[in-house]
Amino acid sequence: MRYNSHVCLRRQRYHKQWCWWPEVVTYNLYWWCVSDEYGNCPQFKDGKGFQQLYARIQQNGPFDLIGFQECDDVGKIISGTSLATSFEYYTPTKGNDAPMAWSHTKFRAIDGPGTVWIAKDKYGNRNMNWVRLQVIGSSSIIFFANTHGPLDQCGGSPGETVASNYINAVYSHKQPNDMVVFTGDFNCGSNQDTIKKLAEAFELDATDSSYNGADHIFSSGGVKILWKGSSVGAPSDHQLLKAVLESSAPSPPSPPSPPTGCPVPPDNGGCCISCSTNHYCPSNKGCYSTGESGCAGGYCPAPAVEEVLV
- Mean pLDDT for 136-162 is 96
pLDDT of 10 = 36
- Mean pLDDT for 83-106 is 97
- At residue 122 the predicted structure's pLDDT band, cuts being 50, 70 and 90, is very high
3-state class of 120 per DSSP?
strand
pLDDT of 231 = 94
pLDDT of 222 = 86
pLDDT of 3 = 33
pLDDT in tens, 273-293: 444 444 445 445 555 444 444
pLDDT of 247 = 73
Which value, in Å, is the radius of gyration of the alpha carbons in the chain? 26
Closest CA to 108 of 127, 126, 132: 132
- Mean pLDDT for 27-32 is 98
Parallel, antiparallel, or unpaired: how do β-strands 23-28 and 65-69 relate? parallel
pLDDT of 6 = 35
Count how many Cα atoms sit within 13 Å of the Cα of residue 9 in the half-sphere of its side chain.
4
Closest CA to 129 of 168, 170, 163: 170
Decide which of 5 and 62 is more confident.
62
- Mean pLDDT for 144-164 is 97
For the chain, the domains span: 2-249, 269-299
Q: What is the largest CA-CA distance in the chain?
A: 93
CA 208, CA 236: separation in Å to the nearest integer?
A: 14
- At residue 20 the predicted structure's pLDDT band, cuts being 50, 70 and 90, is low
pLDDT at 195 over 90: yes
pLDDT at 295 over 90: no
pLDDT of 1 = 45
- Mean pLDDT for 167-192 is 97
Decide which of 268 and 5 is more confident.
268
- Measured over the CA atoms of residue 204, residue 231, residue 65 and residue 224, the dihedral's sign is negative
pLDDT at 74 over 60: yes
Q: What is the pTM of this model?
A: 0.76
- At residue 270 the predicted structure's pLDDT band, cuts being 50, 70 and 90, is very low
- At residue 298 the predicted structure's pLDDT band, cuts being 50, 70 and 90, is very low
pLDDT of 21 = 85
pLDDT in tens, 102-114: 999 999 999 999 9
CA 27, CA 29: separation in Å to the nearest integer?
A: 6
- Mean pLDDT for 259-284 is 47
- The CATH code belonging to domain 2-249 is 3.60.10.10
